[in-house]
Structure 1
Amino acid sequence: MNNVELSVLMCTYNSEKYISETIESILNQTFSDFEFIIVDDGSTDDTEAIIKKFKDSRIKYYKLPENLGIGKASNYGLEKVKGKYIARADSDDIYYKNRFEKQKKFLDKNIDFYVVGSLSEYFCSNEDNERYKYCKNYIEKQNNSILTEKDMHEKLYWYCCLINSSIMARTEVIKKFGYGDFRIGEDYKLFYELNKRGYKITNINEILCKIRVSDKSVCSTNTLEVYRVLYEIKKEEIKNLFKSDNRKVYIWGAGGLGKNLYNIFKQDGFEISGFVDGSEQKWNTEIFNMTVKSPYKVISSSKNIKVIVASEPGRFSIAKYLKGMKYNNLIDYLVF
């Protein structure tokens, strides 16, 4: 397998419950000429034994001596990749049989594109799971609305709208930049950097991946660690937003995200002048000794203030409203 066309890279940690189903969906792809690199990030359950039950020469298994986190494990795996293209996989997701075939054909034909993802659907064994309902009702719909390179370019500045386990990419460019050495957000760091540097990215307009929501899923996790990583990734754009002129900066979103961003900005010396929120129930309430106001009274087409959008469910509708008020992405507003 010296001239392998495709390398599949999957990192795993304590994935004994679902990894067998994932591996089967990869080995049964209609495009079969690939090496399958599995990096075990220090699992302590039966993950290793399950992987070794698969007697397939395409599988190359590596186990790290301790849990280093997904970012470092991914970069370790990149060192082993030999294929022209690299396809990422997560150890609890399921892939349609023609995923690799369709994505490889796209990259073969469109030499000016460097990364291609696909539409996806979230699934869960317990559909009453609140995290699943959040991902299904908000994240899935938002991600699956991004169908062009232009849309992808804009939205990647907003959030990680490209699902890492859905991508196929040109190996040379992924190796050139590598993943962030984070335990969360490592993929967004890579995609954000590629997007800023003008590498063309898009989605195939077809569902090719099923993304599992489990107790370990992070698609709706709202923690200070997540926000700090997002802040570090977007730091250059944040600095530009604050320093380009003397307009005041407001946060649109009086929930947990908005409050955490306020504290992060404050720690780095960036001044937030106020909060607005689309929910009438929050108007005239107090946050950090500031009165939450209606955005429809504060924001005008004269662009007298700048806006940081701090609402995951509402980011698309808020950005649409701001565009209608002649606001420009990264100049007059920034989406988290």
Structure 2
Amino acid sequence: MPTVSVITPTYNRADVLPRAIESVRRQTFRDYEHIVVNDGSTDDTPAVVAEYDDDRIEYVDLPNNCGAAAARNRGLERVRGEYVTFLDSDDAYHPDRLAITTTALDAQPDHVAGVFHPLVKVSGDNESVRKTPTGEITLDELVTANVICGLPNSAYRSRACDAVGGFDESLAYAEDYDLQLRLLREFTMVGIDEALVRCYGDVEGLSNDPLKVRQGLTSLLNKHREMLSDRNIADRHRRIGATYLRTGDEETARDHFEKAVDLWRDSYDRSVYELIGRTCLEVGHRPLARRYLCAALRRNPLAYRSYVLLLATFAPVEGQGAVTTLKSTRDGIISNIKI
């Protein structure tokens, strides 16, 4: 019986799937099984997996596309390991990832459902580290904000996932956060301070489908509204608003942004107007970005980040590229200042 089960759901990712599989095969910890669940792909996924002559890889072929939550549950049904971890088909583990998380889980008492760690976000040529807290966290902390971040940067006791019934297959998005909320009703989780996975943002996926993102966020909000903090509910409204903005419905987007403002401005130390302005800029709606960034500056004229973002609305590049360009320019100027 393997100690660790790695589950990788995949849908039409034949071009990047080898990156994920190879990152598991390069692990220094060897006592694992890798369950690859083909969620009804219509590309060359079966042929890609068939190229690997490795008895640690178990291939599960679903006849239809059922969604990430269902695909992960089909993987959970086949898990034999004491611990289970989830690797998306476009991401890659650090070679010591299984060794470090297994050692960390071995050291935890039974009431700890899993461990999590920072991750490296990769988008084109840009990389950044998404930091996460260290030490034990409880439900109270998770309902305030999604401090765990996601699935690729977490690992779990298999019995804990079984105890809460796995993933909610009715959710088209944020099913990972839903699982973690349900886990922390009965257990806790522990953060460790090493970035052990690279998450790539250069591949088209669910997070780029605004309708599914909206559906998932709305369902999550309705399901957990009573337990979520005002700040967390506000952030869901901000993200739902962004999906409407991406599909051209500015009026509904602004309705959700204003709900976020009403809930958030008195409960968070960072300007909600600045955050919404940045969201609008990343979506590519510069006029609305300027409106919220100017509102942020009226409330805090010394908010340096708001000035940087406002300048980015006039940059000759779109979306996140504008933010990245202005940050690079800012850092270059600062590095050349002589004190």
TM superposition score category, shorter chain reference: 0.5 to 0.7
Deviation at 1:85, TM superposition (A): 0.7
Percentage of matched positions with identical amino acids: 25
1:179-224 CA deviation, whole Å, 9 max, x = no partner? 12123211111011112x1411132201110001124245577553
Cross-structure match for 1:203: 191
Q: Which amino acid aligns with 1:81?
A: V
Aligned to 1:331: none
Task: Give, as a single letter, the amino acid of the residue that structure 1 aligns with 2:178.
Answer: K
CA distance in 1, matches of 2:99, 2:240: 43
Are positions 1:27 and 2:25 aligned together? Answer: yes
Change (3 A) 1:146 1:220: farther
Matched, 1:212 2:186: no
> Structure 1 residue 79 and structure 2 residue 66: aligned?
no
Contact 1:152 1:201 in 2 (8 A): no
| Aligned residue identity for 1:183 | A
User: Does structure 2 conserve the Cα–Cα contact (< 8 Å) formed by 1:8 and 1:35?
Assistant: yes
**Secondary structure of the residue that 1:48 maps to in structure 2?**
helix
| Structure 1 unaligned blocks of 5 or more | 128-132, 242-248, 267-271, 286-290, 297-312, 314-336
Aligned to 1:115: 114
Whether 1:52 and 2:41 are equivalent positions in the alignment is no
- The match for 1:176 among 163, 166, 170 is 163
State the alpha-carbon separation in 2 of the partners of residues 158 and 72 from structure 1. Answer: 25
Give the letter for the 1:166 counterpart.
N
Residues 294 and 237 of structure 1, relative CA distance in 2, 3 Å threshold:
farther
C-alpha spacing 1:273/1:174, structure 2 compared with 1 (3 Å) = closer
Kindly indicate whether the alpha-carbon contact (under 8 Å) linking 1:29 and 1:98 is maintained by their aligned counterparts in 2. yes
SS at match of 2:70: helix
Deviations along 1:17-48, one digit per CA (max 9) or x if unpaired, are 11112101101211111111111100100111
Q: Is the 8 A contact 1:120 1:209 kept in 2?
A: yes
Matched, 1:228 2:196: no
1:320 maps to what in 2?
none
Task: Give distance in 2, aligned partners of 1:281 and 1:201.
Answer: 40
Q: Does 1:66 align with 2:53?
A: no
Instruction: Please name the residue that 2:336 is paired with.
Output: none
Change beyond 3 A, Cα 1:281–1:4: closer
In the TM superposition, what whole-angstrom CA distance separates every residue of 1:251-282 from its partner, at most 9, and x where no partner exists?
Answer: 9979935955956999xxxxx79997357964
Work out the CA distance in 2 between the residues paired with 1:59 and 1:122: 26
- Note closer, same or farther for the CA distance 1:31–1:180 as it changes in structure 2 (3 Å cut): same
Cα separation, 2, equivalents of 1:214 and 1:254 = 20
Report if the CA contact (8 A) 1:22-1:91 is conserved.
yes
Distance in 2 (alpha carbons) for counterparts of 1:273 and 1:147: 28
Q: Quick one: distance in 1 between partners of 2:69 and 2:101?
A: 24
Give the TM-score normalised by the residue count of structure 2: 0.66
Is 2:240–2:256's contact at 8 Å kept on the other side of the alignment?
no
Equivalent AA in structure 2 for residue 148 of structure 1: G
- The residue type equivalent to 2:136 in the other structure is E
User: What displacement does 1:148 show?
Assistant: 3.0
Distance in structure 2 (CA, Å) of the matches to 1:161 and 1:85: 18
Stretches of structure 2 lacking an aligned partner (at least 5 in a row) = 245-251, 266-271, 278-288, 301-319, 321-339
Instruction: Please show how residues 80-99 of structure 1 align to structure 2 within 5 Å.
Output: 80-99=78-97
Task: Provide the alpha-carbon RMSD of the alignment.
Answer: 4.1
Q: Is the counterpart of residue 194 in structure 1 residue 193 in structure 2?
A: no
Q: 1:167 maps to what in 2?
A: 154
Q: How many residues align?
A: 268
Q: 1:230 to 1:264 in 2, by over 3 A?
A: farther
In the aligned structure 2, how far is the partner of 1:151 from the partner of 1:261?
A: 33
Instruction: Kindly indicate whether residue 266 of structure 2 is the aligned counterpart of residue 277 of structure 1.
Output: no
Write 1 or 2 for the structure with the bigger share of strand. 1
Which one scores higher on RCO, CA 8 angstroms, separation ≥ 6? Answer: 1
* 1:17 aligned partner: 15
In structure 2, what is the Cα distance between the partners aligned to 1:152 and 1:98? 29
CA 1:294–1:199 in 2, change beyond 3 Å: closer, same or farther? farther
Aligned-partner residue type, residue 39 of structure 2: D
- Distance in 2 (alpha carbons) for counterparts of 1:40 and 1:156: 32
Query: TM-score, normalising length from structure 1?
Result: 0.67
Give the Cα separation in 1 of the matches to 2:222 and 2:257.
Answer: 10
Amino acid aligned to 1:188: Y
Per the alignment, residue 327 of structure 1 pairs with none
Higher relative helix content: 2
Give SS of 1:277's match: helix
Tell me the distance in 2 between the aligned counterparts of 1:274 and 1:167.
28
